[in-house]
Structure 1
Amino acid sequence: MLAAAALALALQSTPVDPASADAAAVMVPVNGVFAALSARDGQALLPLMDAEARINVVAEGPNGARRHASPTVADFTGSLTPGPERFEEIMPAPSVMIDGDIASVWGRYVFRVDGELSHCGVNHFGLIRRDGVWKIANLTWTQRMTGCEGIVP
């Protein structure tokens, strides 16, 4: 029983100071995803992703029904093509956690098209550090049209 409690305490992580150099390093590929979305440049995502990266999305429809999808990295990057609309994703208060060569970034976001709200949800980035470089190993997000108020002032 004592060993289980000690293990549970050892496995608990606390968020890293978002102003720290460690958090800034983890946020480089995360912010790179937002820049690639804004530029509508799927190819810009590729260097940010681990070779074995996974993507998952759970989209909630207006009737509350949820649709789960797991596009490949190639499908996701291929879907991000130039167009006339301006994309903008904002994740105002990400929580960053680091343990050695793994990290997690979690936070609410809003997604706008031409300045108008498209949807919101929660992003989760699972990252690994290889040879000193943080890469996205898992990108998961929820997507909904409700509950978006107050995420970004």
Structure 2
Amino acid sequence: MRLPFILSLALLAPLPALAQTKPPITPTQKLPPANPLPYEDPEAAAVLAPVNALFAALETGDKAALLAVVYPDGRVTAVSDTAVRQGSFAQFAEGVKPERAFKERIWNPAIEIDGNIAMVWAPYDVYVAGKFSNCGIDHLDLVREGGSWKVMNITFSTRATGCAPK
């Protein structure tokens, strides 16, 4: 079923001019695992707060809530086996609507923090109308400005096979 890719396209529909078709990417090696920090760590919890708020906004289709936790100049990049789609958070938010809401979950996030930058790398899955849709890896980078963390960029892989939904 092509729903995962279609879901990515639906959210990025305003971006056809930015779409690039590329040959499949074959990684030469996996990145070494990051040092996962427990949620109980106050610094890690502060980094995860805007990430969790972003997913809550996607689940309710709340465009304003999504834009409140992202950096205005940030980017969203969706990578499938055959295409790379990217655009700004403003463009991405145009596709966020209550009737398009979906539940995205992450687990076992690896969180790296250095001063005012942070990275969250985590497996994810997506459910639409209670049914499994797709999965992959979410990579979010965040910046802390004025004491507040915001999501700067999101890059995610998307596939419907080879998933082990949690």
- RMSD value over aligned CA atoms? 1.5
- Consecutive unaligned residues of structure 1, counting only runs of 5 or more, are 1-12, 61-65
In the alignment, what sits opposite 2:90?
Answer: 74
Percent pairwise identity: 37
Alpha-carbon distance in structure 2 between the residues aligned to 1:32 and 1:18 = 15
Alpha-carbon distance in structure 1 between the residues aligned to 2:61 and 2:163 = 23
Larger radius of gyration: 1
In the alignment, what sits opposite 2:161?
Answer: 146
Alpha-carbon distance in structure 2 between the residues aligned to 1:112 and 1:72 = 24
Instruction: Please say if residues 16 and 98 of structure 1, whose CA atoms lie closer than 8 Å, have aligned partners that are also in contact.
Output: no
1:73 is matched by which residue type in structure 2? F
Secondary structure of residue in 1 paired with 2:153: strand
Alpha-carbon distance in structure 2 between the residues aligned to 1:80 and 1:71 = 14
Alpha-carbon distance in structure 1 between the residues aligned to 2:130 and 2:117 = 34
Secondary structure of residue in 2 paired with 1:146: coil
Instruction: Please say if residues 125 and 139 of structure 1, whose CA atoms lie closer than 8 Å, have aligned partners that are also in contact.
Output: yes
Matches within 5 A, 1:34-45: 34-45=55-66
Instruction: Please say if residues 86 and 115 of structure 1, whose CA atoms lie closer than 8 Å, have aligned partners that are also in contact.
Output: no
Cα 1:86–1:135 shift into 2, 3 Å:
closer
In the alignment, what sits opposite 1:98?
Answer: 113
Alpha-carbon distance in structure 2 between the residues aligned to 1:36 and 1:93 = 21
Alpha-carbon shift at residue 87 of structure 1 (Å) = 1.4
Alpha-carbon shift at residue 54 of structure 1 (Å) = 1.4
2:87 is matched by which residue type in structure 1? P
In the alignment, what sits opposite 1:9?
Answer: none
In the alignment, what sits opposite 1:112?
Answer: 127
- Consecutive unaligned residues of structure 2, counting only runs of 5 or more, are 1-33
Alpha-carbon shift at residue 86 of structure 1 (Å) = 5.4
Q: Which runs of 4+ in 1 moved over 4 A?
A: none
Alpha-carbon shift at residue 71 of structure 1 (Å) = 1.8
1:76 is matched by which residue type in structure 2? F
Secondary structure of residue in 2 paired with 1:137: strand
Name which of 46, 51, 64 aligns with 2:72: 51
